[in-house]
């Protein structure tokens, strides 16, 4: 059991705290997800728990602070970002890397071999780390965290950037670890991962606890961190994001809402492609519900969610309280970006573009008509708040 009380961290005086009074529990037999957008404070929370960072508040692991644990590596397995994709020295072979760490933890070398089996790395145990894929590195890091047979796992974004196959493997591993009585605390940026992986979801927004919910309740309310982006060239940006497998939905006339990627990455992508941004901001919203009329897709999953008519609130996504299982959310095939987004023409000097009223989504899914290139400044389509998921190009 991990009891987290009042964690607070201010990195720079005069700046808002990275974490403010965070309190929650992570219980044995459960996967607890700490969900938040980029910069929400997830890593800071983990670092404070492990006393790698000075701050306020207290974390107890089965009643003791980290510092008071007799053999922390035997009690808590940790996976924190190292800033490098490689799990160890690139020239070292996986088996000798893990056996060396086994020696440091004080467990026999055969424990390293067992873990290579368990993490499906036995077949590449003699390979050098430089030949490993990101998924293999991540599994090797997990094997290292498990060397001391800890009862608790603290994992920071363990699946980020991995292939669907590796993500699935991690999820099933963590679920069986918790089912056998282990405590798992895992951070994630995506609501989708939180809903399929966790039993309990702690949602953080700009350093503060927004919600602490059992997963069933989380699925009903579906608090969802996303980045709101506005500017005159959102179609181009949406295309770029979709081509990288990022989830994008239209959000008002000149805006898109982006999930599963941080502000910084979006800003850098826009900068690299010369795309002008007027706004780039984190926020947490409740997810619109999928439209019941949408057909199930054949082939790879997309992500289309339509807000029922009449639930619009101009300028922000609909707030819904309807429960929809996450597997339903992933059933429809998404239209492609050019169908959904069209950049505003450049403003004519001395004649600013007219603000257009927002329109509600009609109850039936309708494909938008392609607009001719000579069209007048685009009238808002009926596709406000329509999310799209593009193909997953992330490699293992």
Ligand X SMILES: Nc1ncnc2c1ncn2[C@@H]1O[C@H](COP(=O)(O)OP(=O)(O)OP(=O)(O)O)[C@@H](O)[C@H]1O
Q: Binding of ligand X at residue 282 (CB under 6 A)?
A: no
134 versus 253: smaller Cβ distance to ligand X = 134
From 32-40, 238-246, 325-333, 386-394, span contacting ligand X (CB under 6 A): 32-40
Considering only residues 6 to 25 of the shown chain, the ones binding ligand X according to CB under 6 A are 11, 18
361 near ligand X, rule: CB under 6 A: no
Return the number of the residue (15 or 351) whose C-beta is nearest ligand X.
15
Q: 13 vs 67, which CB is nearer to ligand X? A: 13
Single out the segment in contact with ligand X by CB under 6 A; choices: 40-48, 59-67, 212-220, 341-349: 40-48
Site for ligand X in 44-103 (CB under 6 A): 44
Q: How far is the CB of 190 from ligand X (least distance, A)?
A: 10
Q: Which of 26, 31, 35, 36 binds ligand X (CB under 6 A)?
A: 36
Tell me the window of 31-39, 243-251, 341-349, 379-387 that interacts with ligand X (CB under 6 A).
Answer: 31-39
SS3 annotation, the chain: CEEEEEEEECCCCCCCCCEEEEEEEECCCEEEEEECCCCCCHHHHHHHHCCCCCCEEEEEECCECHHHCCCHHHHEEEECCCCCCCCCCCCCEHHHHHHHHHHHHCCCHHHHHHHHHHCCCHHHCCCEHHHCCHHHHHHHHHHHHHCCCCCEEEECCCCCCCCHHHHHHHHHHHHHHHHCCCEEEEEECCHHHHHHHCCEEEEEECCEEEEEEEHHHHHHHCEEEEEEEECCCHHHHHHHHHHCCCEEEECCCCEEEEECCCHHHHHHHHHHCCCCCCEEEEEEEECCCCCCCCCCCCCCCCCCCCCCCCCCECCECCCCCCCCCHHHHCCCCCCCHHHHCCCCCCCECCECCCCCCCCCCCCCCCCCCCCCCCCCCCCCCCCCCCEEECCCCCCC
Spell out, one character per residue from 179 to 218, where the chain touches ligand X: x when CB under 6 A holds, - when not.
----------x-----------------------------
Least separation in angstroms between residue 226's CB and ligand X is 13
Contact residue for ligand X among 20, 42, 209, 337 (CB under 6 A): 42
Is residue 286 near ligand X by the rule CB under 6 A?
Answer: no
Pick one of 4, 41, 101, 385: the residue that binds ligand X (CB under 6 A).
Answer: 41
* Residue 40 binds ligand X, judged by CB under 6 A: yes
Our finding on whether 39 is near ligand X (CB under 6 A) is yes
**Site residues, ligand X (CB under 6 A):** 11, 18, 36, 38-44, 189, 262
């Amino acid at each position: 059991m991990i009891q987290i009380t009042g964690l607070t961290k201010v990195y720079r005086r005069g700046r808002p705290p990275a974490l403010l009074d965070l309190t929650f529990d992570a219980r044995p037999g459960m996967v607890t997800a700490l969900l938040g957008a980029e910069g929400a404070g997830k890593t800071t929370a983990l670092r404070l728990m492990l006393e790698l960072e000075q701050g306020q508040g207290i974390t107890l692991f089965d009643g003791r602070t980290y510092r008071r644990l007799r053999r922390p590596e035997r009690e808590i397995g940790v996976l924190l970002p190292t800033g490098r994709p490689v799990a160890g020295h690139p020239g070292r072979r996986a088996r000798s890397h893990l056996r060396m760490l086994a020696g440091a933890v004080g467990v026999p070398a055969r424990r390293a071999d067992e873990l290579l089996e368990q993490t499906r790395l036995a077949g590449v145990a003699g390979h050098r780390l430089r030949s490993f894929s990101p998924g293999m590195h991540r599994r090797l890091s997990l094997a290292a965290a498990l060397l001391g047979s800890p009862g608790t796992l603290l994992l920071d974004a363990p699946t980020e950037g991995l292939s669907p196959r590796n993500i699935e493997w991690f999820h099933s591993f963590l679920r069986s670890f918790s089912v056998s009585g282990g405590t798992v605390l895992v951070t994630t940026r995506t609501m989708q991962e939180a809903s399929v992986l966790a039993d309990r979801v702690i949602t953080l927004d700009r350093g503060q606890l927004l919600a602490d919910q059992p997963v069933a309740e989380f699925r009903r309310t579906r608090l969802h961190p996303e980045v709101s982006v506005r500017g005159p060239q959102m179609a181009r940006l949406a295309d770029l994001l979709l081509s990288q497998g990022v989830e994008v939905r239209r959000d008002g006339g000149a805006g898109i809402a982006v999930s599963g990627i941080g502000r910084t990455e979006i800003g850098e992508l826009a900068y690299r492609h010369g795309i002008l941004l007027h706004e780039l901001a984190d926020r947490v919203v409740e997810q619109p519900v999928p439209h019941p009329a949408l057909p199930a897709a054949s082939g790879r999953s997309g992500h289309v969610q339509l807000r029922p008519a009449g639930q619009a609130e101009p300028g922000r996504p609909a707030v819904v309280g309807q429960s929809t299982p996450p597997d339903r959310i992933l059933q429809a095939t998404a239209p492609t970006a050019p169908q959904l987004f069209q950049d505003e023409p450049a403003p004519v000097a001395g004649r600013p573009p007219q603000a257009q009223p927002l329109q509600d989504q009609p109850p039936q899914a309708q494909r938008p008509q392609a607009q001719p290139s000579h069209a007048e400044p685009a009238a808002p389509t009926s596709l406000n708040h329509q999310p799209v998921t593009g193909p997953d190009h992330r490699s293992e």
